[in-house]
Protein backbone atom coordinates (compact mmCIF):
# COMPACT_ATOMS: atom_id res chain seq x y z
CA UNK A 1 0.00 0.00 0.00
CA UNK A 2 2.77 2.45 0.91
CA UNK A 3 4.83 1.28 -2.09
CA UNK A 4 1.95 2.11 -4.45
CA UNK A 5 1.73 5.62 -3.01
CA UNK A 6 5.49 6.16 -3.44
CA UNK A 7 5.38 4.92 -7.05
CA UNK A 8 2.49 7.27 -7.86
CA UNK A 9 4.36 10.17 -6.22
CA UNK A 10 7.54 9.45 -8.23
CA UNK A 11 5.56 9.23 -11.48
CA UNK A 12 3.72 12.49 -10.77
CA UNK A 13 6.94 14.27 -9.82
CA UNK A 14 8.75 13.05 -12.94
CA UNK A 15 5.86 14.14 -15.17
CA UNK A 16 5.95 17.60 -13.58
CA UNK A 17 9.69 17.86 -14.24
CA UNK A 18 9.26 16.77 -17.86
CA UNK A 19 6.42 19.24 -18.44
CA UNK A 20 8.54 22.06 -16.97
CA UNK A 21 11.46 21.17 -19.23
CA UNK A 22 9.43 21.08 -22.47
CA UNK A 23 7.43 24.29 -21.94
CA UNK A 24 8.41 27.07 -24.37
CA UNK A 25 10.41 29.84 -22.75
CA UNK A 26 9.09 33.41 -23.33
CA UNK A 27 11.32 35.83 -25.21
CA UNK A 28 12.64 38.73 -23.11
CA UNK A 29 11.03 42.09 -23.94
CA UNK A 30 12.94 44.65 -25.98
CA UNK A 31 14.54 47.47 -23.99
CA UNK A 32 13.06 50.95 -24.42
CA UNK A 33 16.06 52.15 -26.44
CA UNK A 34 15.56 49.39 -29.02
CA UNK A 35 11.86 50.22 -29.41
CA UNK A 36 12.73 53.84 -30.21
CA UNK A 37 15.00 52.74 -33.05
CA UNK A 38 12.33 50.88 -35.00
CA UNK A 39 12.14 52.49 -38.41
CA UNK A 40 8.87 53.61 -39.95
CA UNK A 41 7.74 51.85 -43.11
CA UNK A 42 6.45 53.22 -46.40
CA UNK A 43 4.43 50.72 -48.41
CA UNK A 44 2.33 51.38 -51.48
CA UNK A 45 -1.38 50.77 -50.97
CA UNK A 46 -1.21 50.94 -47.19
CA UNK A 47 -3.82 53.31 -45.69
CA UNK A 48 -2.70 56.54 -44.06
CA UNK A 49 -4.24 57.10 -40.64
CA UNK A 50 -5.95 60.36 -39.75
CA UNK A 51 -5.65 61.45 -36.13
CA UNK A 52 -8.13 63.75 -34.44
CA UNK A 53 -6.89 64.88 -31.05
CA UNK A 54 -3.95 63.44 -29.14
CA UNK A 55 -3.05 59.87 -30.03
CA UNK A 56 0.09 57.75 -30.31
CA UNK A 57 0.41 55.94 -33.64
CA UNK A 58 2.71 52.94 -33.37
CA UNK A 59 2.42 51.68 -36.93
CA UNK A 60 2.87 54.67 -39.20
CA UNK A 61 3.26 54.78 -42.99
CA UNK A 62 5.88 57.50 -43.44
CA UNK A 63 9.38 57.78 -44.91
CA UNK A 64 11.12 59.76 -42.19
CA UNK A 65 10.25 61.22 -38.80
CA UNK A 66 12.81 63.00 -36.64
CA UNK A 67 16.42 62.23 -35.79
CA UNK A 68 17.01 58.61 -34.74
CA UNK A 69 20.77 59.02 -34.30
CA UNK A 70 22.49 59.70 -31.01
CA UNK A 71 25.53 61.90 -30.66
CA UNK A 72 28.14 61.77 -27.93
CA UNK A 73 30.63 64.52 -27.18
CA UNK A 74 33.88 64.45 -25.24
CA UNK A 75 34.88 67.59 -23.42
CA UNK A 76 38.48 68.07 -22.31
CA UNK A 77 38.86 70.19 -19.21
For the chain, 77 residues long, give each residue's pLDDT as a single digit of tens. 778 899 999 999 999 999 999 999 888 876 665 555 556 667 777 777 777 888 777 666 776 666 666 677 888 87
Asked if residue 23 belongs to a domain, the reply is yes
Structural domain boundaries, residue 19: 2-28
Instruction: Tell me whether residue 59 is in a domain.
Output: no
Residue 64 bridge partners (DSSP): none
**How many structural domains compose the chain?**
1
Write down the pLDDT at residue 26.
87
pTM > 0.85: yes or no: no
CA distances in angstroms from 48 to 32, 35, 36, listed in the order given: 26, 22, 21
The answer to whether residue 43 sits within a structural domain is no
Amino acid sequence: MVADWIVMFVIAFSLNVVSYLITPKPKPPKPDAARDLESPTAEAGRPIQKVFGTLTIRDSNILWHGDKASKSYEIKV
